[in-house]
Amino acid sequence: MTSRLRILGIETSCDETAAAVVVRHPDGRGEIVSDVVLSQLTEHSAFGGVVPEIAARAHVDALDGLIEEALSRAGIVLSEIDAVAATAGPGLIGGLLVGLMTGKAIAMAARKPLYAINHLEGHALTARLTDGLAFPYLMLLVSGGHTQLVLVKGVGAYERWGTTIDDALGEAFDKTAKLLGLPYPGGPAVEQAARTGNPARFDLPRPLVGETRLDFSFSGLKTAVRQAATAIQPLTQEDISDICASFQRAISRTLNDRIGRGLARFRETYPDLPNPALVVAGGVAANQVIRATLQELCDRHGVHFIAPPLQLCTDNAAMIAWAGLERMAAGLPEDPMAVAPRSRWPLDAEAATRLGSGKRGAKA
Ligand code: KG4
Ligand code: ZN
């Protein structure tokens, strides 16, 4: 398809309510025309995590206004869009229902096609919107609900090379923060505390390091942090900083091994690729230590490291809109009005029965 396409995107799978208008130009270039995100962080922080019922209600309250804002910032009315894309999974079912039903209603009223988007596909294709990246490439998704290394071969063509078999990486940060008495969300708090800490003080485990399969495991690390913290109660600021720094170092070493193997496999699979690339997505991508680790790894393997702007790494509707545009441009069919949201929805359907496939916890 070569014409200019304009789409409204809607994202409500977790604790961000988001709407965006994105254009795909005839040359394939993407342009974010408007991108509005409302985080529910304050609603959930008192509970130390996302509360599904509160999230769903907050989406109901905010979504209509956000869609209006996205359209007005784009300077258009509904009749000027070519399609609607709404996240249909994986995620919290209440939130998904709110977004998908709203998307259906708008599509029906405006007589436009509806695309029910897999949230993970949104993350997977973002680098094509921001950097015009060509297929194939590797994508590392590290968020509060997912830790996956995915080979992105084309629109709708994904191979999951590695998955966490227990906690997601963001979840490990959040749990570590909680047991050290640091605030939610834990990632930024742990990173901050680690800045002044001694990463060599605690020798924390690095599960699965050395194994040829590319999966991840973080729950043992969290247990080791608990044991270290319990052994030296009461904890001083210095102890907390040292634990956080040691925790981040263990994660860096784990990623070094796991992603290093993934990059080697990628290079072997595609020896002649002119621009091999690893793209990072998810909130944990904000972490400077993790970024530096990935950058070094990529340099070592001759792979281009791409970290999209943080607001496009975390949950947003521009990535959902873009996934819809990619599907349209690839000639994939629109979705029927009967399409239902799915709390679990692995990106690579044939791997649906694998351990740790769909999503864990409340976040995607
Ligand atoms: O992608 P995201 O905003 O939301 C979903 O999970 O969908 O990711 C949130 C996760 C949380 O677990 C948070 O603790 C983690 O990303 N995170 C970080 C940092 N900033 C956010 N983890 C490590 N270091 C950070 N600076
Ligand atoms: Zn996400």
pLDDT in tens, 310-321: 999 999 999 999
Mutation choice for ligand 1 from 87, 143, 313, CB with most ligand atoms inside 8 A: 143
Answer whether residue 352 is part of any domain.
no
What range does the domain containing 26 cover?
A: 5-128+312-329
Q: What is the pLDDT of residue 49?
A: 80
Whether residues 152 and 34 share a domain: the answer is no
In this structure, which residue's CA is closest to atom 19 in ligand 1?
Answer: 187
Residue among 22, 11, 110, 102 at smallest CA distance from 64: 102
Whether 358 maps to a domain, the answer reads: no
Distance CA 135, CA 151 (A): 9
Q: Do the domain assignments include residue 359? A: no
Quote the number of domains for the chain.
2
- 32: which 2 tokens? 């974010």
DSSP-derived letter for residue 164 is B
For the stretch 85-118, pLDDT in tens is 999 999 999 999 999 999 999 999 999 999 999 9
pLDDT of residue 147: 96
- At 351 the pLDDT is 60
Residue 271 has pLDDT above 90, yes or no: yes
At 184 the pLDDT is 87
Given a cut of 80, is residue 350 above it in pLDDT? no
Mean pLDDT of 294-300: 98
Residue 209 has a pLDDT of 84
Is residue 149 assigned to a domain?
Answer: yes
- 55 and 187 fall within a common domain: no
Which ligand 1 atom lies nearest to the CA of residue 313?
A: 1
* Nearest of 118, 121, 213 to residue 158 by alpha carbon: 121
Ligand 1 in reach of 191 Cβ (< 6 A): yes
Ligand 1, atom 23, residue with closest C-alpha: 187
User: What are residue 36's phi and psi, to 5 degrees?
Assistant: -115, 130
Q: Give the pLDDT confidence of 49-61 residue by residue, as tens digits.
A: 888 988 899 999 9
Question: Which pTM was predicted?
Answer: 0.93
Span 160-171, average pLDDT = 96
Whether residue 97 lies inside any domain: the answer is yes
**Residue 236 maps to a domain:** yes
Cα angle for residues 327, 275, 299 (degrees, 5° grid): 125
- Lowest-confidence region among 39-43, 168-172, 196-200, 250-254: 39-43
Percent of residues, the chain, with pLDDT higher than 70: 95
Same domain membership, residue 257 and residue 177: yes
The residue whose CA has the least distance to atom 7 of ligand 1 is 364
Q: Which atom from ligand 1 is nearest to the alpha carbon of 168?
A: 12
**Does one domain contain both 71 and 220?**
no
356 lines ligand 1 (CB under 6 A): no
Q: Which protein residue's CA is at the shortest distance from atom 8 of ligand 1?
A: 283
- 246, part of any domain: yes
The ligand whose atoms approach the alpha carbon of 126 most closely is 2
Residue 72's nearest CA partner among 21, 28, 148 is 21
CATH of the domain at 264: 3.30.420.40
Q: Coil, helix or strand for 157?
A: strand
Quote the CA–CA distance of 324 and 335 in Å, as a whole number.
11
304 occurs within a structural domain: yes
Distance separating alpha carbons of residues 224 and 117, to the nearest angstrom: 38
Could you give the count of Cα atoms lying within 13 Å of 273 in the half-sphere of its Cβ?
Answer: 23
Higher pLDDT, 188 or 41: 188
Distances (CA, A) of 322 to 85, 157, 197, 351: 9, 16, 41, 25
List residues bridging with 150 in a β-sheet: 139, 160
Give the model's pLDDT for residue 51: 87
Q: Which ligand is nearest to the CA of 87?
A: 2
pLDDT, mean over the chain: 93
Helices (H), the chain: 41-45, 52-74, 93-110, 119-131, 169-179, 186-194, 219-231, 237-269, 288-301, 310-313, 318-329
225 and 141 in a single domain? The answer is: yes
Adjacent-strand bridge partners of 279: 139, 306
Q: Is 24 helix (H, G, I), strand (E, B) or coil?
A: strand
HSE, side-chain direction, 13 A CA sphere, residue 356:
19
Are 97 and 239 found together in one domain?
no
* Protein residues placing their CB within 5 Å of the ion ligand 2: 143, 315, 364
| Co-location of 265 and 291 in the same domain | yes
DSSP string computed for 316-329: -SHHHHHHHHHHHH
What does the block give as tokens for 201? Answer: 């003080």
Q: Are residues 48 and 110 both part of a single domain?
A: yes
Q: How far is the CA of 212 from the centre of ligand 2 (A)?
A: 27
| Ligand lying closest to the C-alpha of residue 347 | 2
Q: Are residues 120 and 242 in the same domain?
A: no
Percent of the chain with pLDDT strictly greater than 90: 86
Residue 158's pLDDT is: 97
Ligand nearest to the CA of 289: 1
Displacement of CA 62 from its chain's centroid (Å): 22
CB of 168 closer than 6 angstroms to any ligand 1 atom = no
Q: Is 209 left (phi over 0), alpha (psi -120 to 50) or beta?
A: beta
The identity of residue 234, as a single letter, is P
Do both 270 and 169 map to the same domain? yes
pLDDT at 356: 46
User: Do 297 and 176 share a structural domain?
Assistant: yes
Q: Are 11 and 116 in contact (CB under 8 A)?
A: no
324 CA from centroid of ligand 1 (Å): 25
- Is the pLDDT at 352 greater than 80, yes or no? no
Report d(CA 4, CA 131) in Å as an integer.
Answer: 19
Residues 144 and 263 in one domain: yes
Residue among 231, 247, 233, 131 nearest 187 (CA) = 247
Dihedral of CA atoms 192, 197, 202, 205 in degrees, nearest 10, equals 30
Tell me the residue type at 92: L
H helices then E strands: how many in the chain? 11, 10
- Ligand 1: centre distance to CA 170 (Å): 5
Q: What's the rounded Cα separation, in Å, for the pair 287 and 255?
A: 13
Tell me the pLDDT tens digit for each residue of 116-160. 999 999 999 999 999 999 999 999 999 999 999 999 999 999 999
What value, to the nearest 5°, has the Cα angle with vertex 87 and ends 158 and 101?
145
